[in-house]
Chains A and B, each alone.
Chain A
Amino acid sequence: MRVMAQMAMVMNLDKCIGCHTCSVTCKQTWTNRSGTEYVWFNNVETRPGEGYPRRYEDQERWRGGWRLDRRGRLTLRSGGRLRKLLTIFANPRLPSLADYYEPWTYDYAALTDAPLQEHAPVARPRSLVSGEPMKISWSANWDDDLGGSPGLEERDVVLRQVSEKVRLEFEKTFMFYLPRICEHCLNPSCAASCPSGAIYKRTEDGIVLVDQDRCRGWRMCITGCPYKKVYFNHRTGKAEKCTFCFPRVEVGLPTVCAETCVGRLRYIGLMLYDADKVLRAASAPKETDLYEAQLEVFLDPHDPAVVAAAERAGIPPDWIEAARRSPVHALISTYRLALPLHPEYRTLPMVWYIPPLSPVVDAVRDTGEDAEDSGNLFAAIEALRIPVDYLARLFTAGDPAPVDAVLRRLAAMRSYMRDINLGREPDERIPAEVGMTGEQMREMFRLLALAKYDERYVIPPAHAEQAHRLDELATECSLDRDGGPGMGGWGPFGETSGGAAPVAVENFHMLRQRQTADRPAGPSETRGRVNLLNWDGRGRPPGLFPPRRDGAGPGGTASRAGSGAAETEHRS
Chain B
Amino acid sequence: MISVVIGQVRRLADAAEGGRAGVEDVLLWAVLPYVAIAVFVLGHYWRYRYDKFGWTTRSSQLHENRLLRIGSPLFHFGVLIVLLGHVGGLLVPNAWTEAAGISEHAYHVAAVTLGTAAGLCTLTGLAILIYRRRTVGPVFSATTRNDKLMYAVLTLVVVLGLAATVAANLAGGGYDYRETVSPWFRSVFLLRPDPDLMADVPILFRLHALSAMLLLGIWPFTRLVHMLTAPIGYLTRPYIVYRSRDARLGARAPRRGWERIP
Contact = CB atoms under 8 A, between A and B. Distances in A.
The answer to whether A and B assemble together is yes
B241 interface: yes
A213 B62 contact: no
B51 A496 contact: yes
Contacts of B60: 234
Interface stretch (A90-98, A319-327, A436-444): A90-98
Contact of B240 (A187, A216, A466): A187
Interface residues of B, number: 53
A500 B248 CA distance: 9
Contacts of A192: 239-240
A345 interface: no
Contacts of B226: 216-217
Given A92-B69, A94-B62, A94-B65, A191 B141 contact: no
B256 to A, nearest CB: 6
B59 A202 contact: no
A133 to B, nearest CB: 12
Given A97-B138, A213-B52, A216-B55, A201 B63 contact: no
A497 B252 contact: no
B243 A94 contact: no
Contacts of A500: 52, 248, 251
A367 B14 CA distance: 105
Interface string A175-201: 000000000000110011011110111
A271 to B, nearest CB: 16
B56 interface: yes
Q: Interface size class for chain A?
A: 35 or more
Contacts of B229: 196, 216
A82 B232 CA distance: 10
A203 B62 contact: no
> Which of A129, A216, A491: most chain B Cβ within 10 A?
A216
Given A191-B241, A202-B243, A217-B58, A469 B142 contact: no
A38 B56 CA distance: 20
B244 A234 contact: no
Interface string B228-262: 01011111010111111110110111111010000
B97 interface: no
A533 interface: no
Nearest to A207: B245
A480 interface: yes
A90 to B, nearest CB: 5
Contacts of B73: 89-90
B69 A471 contact: no
A118 to B, nearest CB: 33
B49 interface: yes
B180 interface: no
Contacts of B251: 471, 499-502
Given A81-B234, A191-B239, A236-B53, A90 B68 contact: yes
A374 B255 CA distance: 65
Contacts of A212: 53
Contacts, number: 163
Contact of A482 (B57, B237, B242, B253): B253
A199 B241 contact: yes
A375 interface: no
B59 A232 contact: yes
Nearest to A239: B56
A213 B56 CA distance: 9
> Main SS of chain A's interface residues?
loop
B61 interface: yes
A492 B49 CA distance: 12
A470 B239 CA distance: 27
B72 interface: yes
A218 B57 contact: yes
A472 to B, nearest CB: 11
Contacts of A91: 61
Given A90-B69, A217-B57, A478-B252, A203 B234 contact: no
Contacts of B253: 481-484
Contacts of B246: 466, 469
A237 interface: yes
Contact of B56 (A85, A187, A215): A215
Given A90-B69, A202-B243, A197 B77 contact: no
Contact of B53 (A82, A213, A462, A482): A213
Contact of B59 (A132, A194, A196, A237): A237
Interface string A215-237: 11111000000000000101111
A127 B255 CA distance: 48
A89 B128 CA distance: 14
A469 B249 contact: yes
Contacts of A497: 50-51
Interface string B17-56: 0000000000000000000000000000000011111111
A285 to B, nearest CB: 20
10 contacts: A81-B234, A191-B241, A192-B240, A197-B233, A199-B241, A201-B242, A218-B59, A237-B57, A238-B56, A481-B255
Given A197-B241, A471-B252, 8 more contacts: A81-B234, A94-B65, A187-B240, A197-B231, A201-B243, A216-B229, A232-B62, A481-B252
Q: Which 4 A-B pairs have the closest CB atoms?
A: A195-B231, A192-B239, A237-B58, A213-B52
Interface of A: 81-82, 84-85, 88-92, 94, 96-97, 127, 129-132, 187-188, 191-192, 194-197, 199-205, 211-219, 232, 234-238, 462, 466, 468-471, 478, 480-484, 491-493, 496-502, 525
